[in-house]
A and B are shown apart, each in its own frame.
Chain A
């Protein structure tokens, strides 16, 4: 079946540095991918919609200059958290195929 591979599974970074998270569709092409953030014991909140070959669409309240999204090919979307701060620590998850397939998530801890 359709698989979305997300890397890394977890990352610890220092405050002020940037972190890149990758999401790959392994056996299908994804013109659109979605990026979610999930805080402990909370639901998934959509951050942005990533569109291959065009700019991402960000949800209200999400800083596009802080959360950089690149969808340069039909199988790869990346989310870069720039100048990370402890409050950015969260579980980040991507999905494709209209939300039917999710990646395994990335646990980001900013120290």
Chain B
């Protein structure tokens, strides 16, 4: 099946630092999504990307949809303690009976030291 390679697996940073994480795939996706999951909660959508080359921001978060449609990155600037959590990328394909099916990366665990 499809796989997404998400890296890094974990990051330990100091408050105020910038963070970058990325996902690559062997398959082309129509949409890339980035989520944050807190312990014991469901994922919350941070940014959705719909077009190859698209660069989108949401506050301190910036994400880009790769030109090849097989990769995406997420940057967090000036990290704060509440940024702690697990970040997942997900790719979405729209084809036939698989409308809206998401394939998730393995996640990046972010720890921010105050």
Which A residues fall within an 8 A CB radius of B? 4, 6, 9, 32, 34, 42-46, 49, 57, 60, 91, 93, 95, 98-105, 107
Contact = CB atoms under 8 A, between A and B. Distances in A.
B74 to A, nearest CB: 16
B106 A99 contact: no
A42 B106 contact: yes
B42 A103 contact: yes
Contacts of A49: 101
A44 B43 contact: yes
B92 interface: yes
Contacts of B97: 57
Given A91-B40, A105-B42, 8 more contacts: A6-B42, A32-B100, A42-B106, A43-B105, A49-B101, A99-B92, A102-B35, A104-B42
Contacts, number: 53
Contact of A102 (B40, B42, B105): B42
Given A99-B92, A99-B102, A43 B107 contact: yes
Contact of A105 (B1, B40, B107): B40
A29 to B, nearest CB: 15
Query: In which size bucket is the chain B interface?
Result: 20 to 34
Interface in B1-56: 1, 33, 35, 40-45, 48
11 contacts: A6-B42, A34-B100, A43-B104, A45-B104, A46-B101, A91-B40, A93-B43, A98-B99, A99-B100, A100-B33, A102-B44
B110 interface: no
